[in-house]
Amino acid sequence: LADLVTELYPRKPYAVEQKVLVVLWHLLGNMTNSGSLPGAGGNIRTATAKLSRALFAQMGPSLFTHAASQPPHIKKSLEEFLEIAT
């Protein structure tokens, strides 16, 4: 998904924001401390970090503007993922 963001965002920013941000918010909001989703196997922390970085690379600070409308724990998780990446 992160690779698609990089490829599609320059041509279809609105579509990417409408579809992919929903996925990011879901991942950030439902991930456990161990990096998995409840009821799912495997660690999605790496994929979530990659998606966060790809979106930030394309959207810049407007990603945080969108995150501001999410519950505080989602915004905090996004900030933590992007801090780790830098």
Q: Are 81 and 32 in contact (CB under 8 A)?
A: no
Q: Give the total number of structural domains in the chain.
A: 1
Coil, helix or strand at residue 36: coil
Q: Which domain holds residue 61?
A: 1-31+40-82
pLDDT by residue (tens digit) across 11-54?
Answer: 999 999 999 999 999 999 887 565 555 555 556 888 898 999 99
C-alpha separations of 46 from 15, 36, 43, 51, 79 in Å: 24, 10, 7, 9, 15
* pLDDT score at 73: 92
- In one-letter notation, the amino acid at residue 85 is A
pLDDT by residue (tens digit) across 53-67?
Answer: 999 999 999 999 999
Q: Say which residue the tokens 């930030």 belong to.
A: 56
Q: Are 52 and 82 in contact (CB under 8 A)?
A: yes
